[in-house]
Structure 1
Amino acid sequence: MARRNPRFLRDLLLALLVWGVAASVAGSFLWLVGDMLWHGAGQLSWNFLTAATENAGRSGGIGSILVSTLLILAVAMVVATPLGLATAVLLSEFVSPGNRFAQLVGLSLDVLAGVPSIVFGLFGMAFFSVFLGLGFSILAGGLTLACMALPIFIRTAEAGLRAVPDDWRRGAAALGLSRSAALSHILLPAATPALAAALMLGIGRAMAETAALIFTSGYVDRMPSSLADSGRALAVHIYDLSMNVAGGDANAYATALVLVVLLIVINNIALWLAQNLLQKRIAQS
C-alpha cells in the first residue's frame, strides 16, 4: 500500500529528478574531459609544458603562455583579494543591509557581475592600456581580470560573513573584544569556507577569460620579462589555435586540458590553505 501512496510517488519522482540532473551535469563534465583527453593527451609532455611556441602554435610548447597566464592570474588575485575582502567586511559588518549606500553598492555589484566580458575588455583597454599608459601588458590584463572577479568575490564573501550567527558577535562584544579583534579571530575564521569559495570562483572567472585579455594583455606568445610585457594567456591561445590556425586543433585540445588541470590544482590549493588557516585559528583559540 505504501508504494501506491501519492506522497511516496512524488518523493520518488523528485529523487529521480535530482539524481538525473546530477548525473547529467557529471556526465557532461566527464564527456568534455574525455574529449580533451582523447584528442589532446597524446600531445602532453614535459617539453610541451616548457618549450616555446613555434609555427604559430602548431608545434612547440606552451612554456611562455603558461608563465604569462600565471602572472596575469597573480596580478588579478593580488589586487582583487584585499579589495574584495575589505568591501565584503564593510558591507556585512559596518553597514546595515537597509543603508542606501549598501543598497547602491550591492546593486552595482549585481550589475557588474552580469556585464559581458568583452565590455570589461574594452574598459580595460580604454582605462588601463590607453589612459594609464600600460599598453598591451600583463599588468593591464591582470587589472582588468581583477575588475571582473571583484563582484562575484565580494558577494560570495559577504554572504559567508553574514551567515555567521549574530550571537558570536554579541559574545565577542560581551567579552570586551574590539570589532577588529572579533573580525580577525572569530568572524573571518568562521567564514573561511565561503572565503575559499569566493577565491575559487574568482580564480575560475579569471583563468577562463578570453575576450577581456585579447584587448589588454594581447596576443604575443614570447616569454615575458616583466609585467609590462605583453603576454598570451592559455584561453587566448586556445581560441587562436582553434579559430585562426589551420592544423592547430591537437595543440588546442592539449592546452585546454592543461587549463582544466591547472584550474583544479589551484582550486584545491586554495581550499587546502583555507582549511589549514581555519584549523590554526581553532588551535590558537
Structure 2
Amino acid sequence: MADRLFSTFVFASAALVVSLMLWVLADVVIEGTAHFSWHFLFAEPADAGRAGGIGSILVSTLWILLIALLVALPLGLGVAIWLAEFTGKPSRFAPFPARNTGMTLDILAGVPSIVYGLFGNAFFSIYLGLGFSILSGGLTLACMILPVFIRTCESGLRAVNDDWRRGALALGMTQTAAIWHILLPAARPAIIAGLVLGIGRATAETAALIFTSGYVDRMPGSLLDSGRALAVHIYDLSMNVTGGDGAAYASALVLVVLIIVLNTLAQSLVDSWFKRRLAA
C-alpha cells in the first residue's frame, strides 16, 4: 500500500508539472503565432515595440549570450576540474580553499539575479567604465552562469569511478592526459546538463540585464553599445507599453524557440567535440 501511494504521488506530481508546462507553452504558441511573421523576426522595433519587429533585439540577445558563454564555459570547466581532481574528496578535513570555494559557489547559485545586476552595474558598467553595454550584460550573465555550471560539472567529474583514474595511471598516462581523454568524456552528461542550465538562465534573464545592457532597442554597432535583450523586451512590452501584448506574445514565442534551438545546438556541438577527443 505504501509503495502504491508513493508511486501515485510521484506520477501525479510529474503529471501536474508537465500539464502546467504544456498549458503555458500552449498559451504562448497560440497567442504568439497570431502575431508572428517573418517581417517581425527581422525588422527593427517601431512605436515602442507595438509595431515593427525584433531584429535588433535578437542580435543584441545573441551577442550577450555569446559573450557570457565564451567567458563562463572555459573558466567554469577549469574550476570544476580543479575542485574535483586536485583538491581531493569533499570533507571537513579538505583543504580550506576547496571547502571555501565550494561553499561560496553554493551561496552564489542562490543569489537573486537582481543582485547580480547591481554588481554588474557597479563593477562592469561604472568601475571598469563599460557603461550600459552588451559587454557589461554578457560579463554579468557569465557571473550568473558560473556557480551552477561549475557545481554541475564538478559533480559529474566526481561521479566518475576511481577505477578509471587508476587504470589511466597504470597505463602511464599523466593526470592531464587522463582528465582530457578519459574523465571529461565520461562526465559528458553532466557537462551538457550544466551547459543547458546556463543557456536557459542566461537567455531568459531580465533583472540583471536592465542594469547592465540597458533598454536601447536599436541595432548595436559594437559590443560597447547598449542593447536590449529579448527577455527585457518582453518585460517592457507587457508592463510598460499599452497595447504591446501581441508583440510580447510573439517575442515570447521566439524566445522559447531560441532556447530550444540553442540547447539542441549546444548538445550537438559538445557531443561532436567529445567524439573527436575519443577518436584522437
With normalisation by structure 1, the TM-score equals 0.95
Query: 1:206-251: per-residue Cα shift (whole Å, max 9, x none)?
Result: 1111011000000000001110110000110000000000000011
Q: 1:211 is matched with which residue: 207, 214, 220?
A: 207
Match for residue 127 of structure 2? 131
Aligned residue type for 2:50: R
The letter of the residue matching 2:123 is: F
Cα shift at 1:123:
0.6
Deviating more after overlay: 37-46 vs 144-153: 37-46
Of the three residues 239, 244, 251, the one matched with 1:243 is 239
Task: Tell me the residue number matched to 1:56.
Answer: 48
Q: Highest Rg: 1 or 2?
A: 1
- C-alpha separation between the residues in 2 aligned to 1:183 and 1:107? 24
Question: Which residue is 1:264 aligned to?
Answer: 260
After superposition, give the CA deviation of every residue in 1:158-204 in whole Å (9 maximum; x if it has no partner).
00010111110111011110111101100011111111111111111
Choose from 61, 64, 67 the match for 1:72: 64
> Mean alpha-carbon deviation: is it higher for 252-261 or for 70-79?
252-261
Q: Distance in 1 between matches of 2:73 and 2:151?
A: 12
Superposed counterparts of 1:146-225, under 5 Å: 146-225=142-221
Q: Choose which of 213, 225, 229 in structure 1 pairs with 2:225.
A: 229
CA drift at 1:18: 1.3
Contact 1:88 1:154 in 2 (8 A): yes
How far does residue 270 in structure 1 lie from its aligned partner after superposition?
1.4
2-side partners of 1:216 and 1:104: how far apart?
29
**Equivalent position of 2:39 in the other structure:** 47
Deviation of residue 38 (structure 1)? Answer: 2.0
Structure 1 unaligned segments of length 5 or more: list them.
1-8
Q: State the Cα distance separating 1:43 from its structure 2 match.
A: 1.2
2:159 partner letter: A
Q: 1:273: how far off? A: 2.0
* Count of aligned pairs: 276
By how many angstroms is 1:16 displaced? 1.5
Q: Which whole-Å CA distance do the structure 1 matches of 2:159 and 2:272 have between them? A: 21
Contact 2:43/2:54, CA 8 A, preserved across alignment: yes
C-alpha distance in structure 1 between counterparts of 2:274 and 2:232, whole Å: 36
Q: State whether residues 48 and 62 of structure 1, in contact with CA within 8 Å, keep that contact through their aligned partners in structure 2.
A: yes
TM-fit CA distance, 1:276: 2.4
CA RMSD between the two structures: 1.0
3-state SS of the aligned residue for 1:38?
Answer: helix
Residue 21, structure 1, aligned to residue 17, structure 2:
no
Secondary structure, counterpart of 2:118 in structure 1: helix
How far did 1:39 drift? 1.5
CA–CA distance in structure 2, aligned partners of residues 21 and 240 of structure 1:
33
Q: Which amino acid letter does the alignment assign opposite residue 188 of structure 1?
A: L
- Aligned sequence identity (%): 64
Task: Determine if contact 2:181/2:278 at 8 Å carries over to the other structure.
Answer: no
On the 8 A contact 2:238/2:248 being kept in 1, the answer is: yes
Cα deviations by residue, 1:26-77 (Å, 9 ceiling, x for unpaired): 1111100111122111111111110000000001100000000000000000
SS of the residue 1:237 aligns to: helix
TM-score after normalising by structure 2? 0.96
Name the CA distance, whole Å, in 2 between partners of 1:279 and 1:81: 19
Supply the distance in 1 between the matched residues of 2:254 and 2:102 (Cα, whole angstroms): 36
CA distance in 2 between partners of 1:161 and 1:81 (Å)? 15
- Equivalent pair of 1:161/1:188 in contact (CA under 8 Å): yes
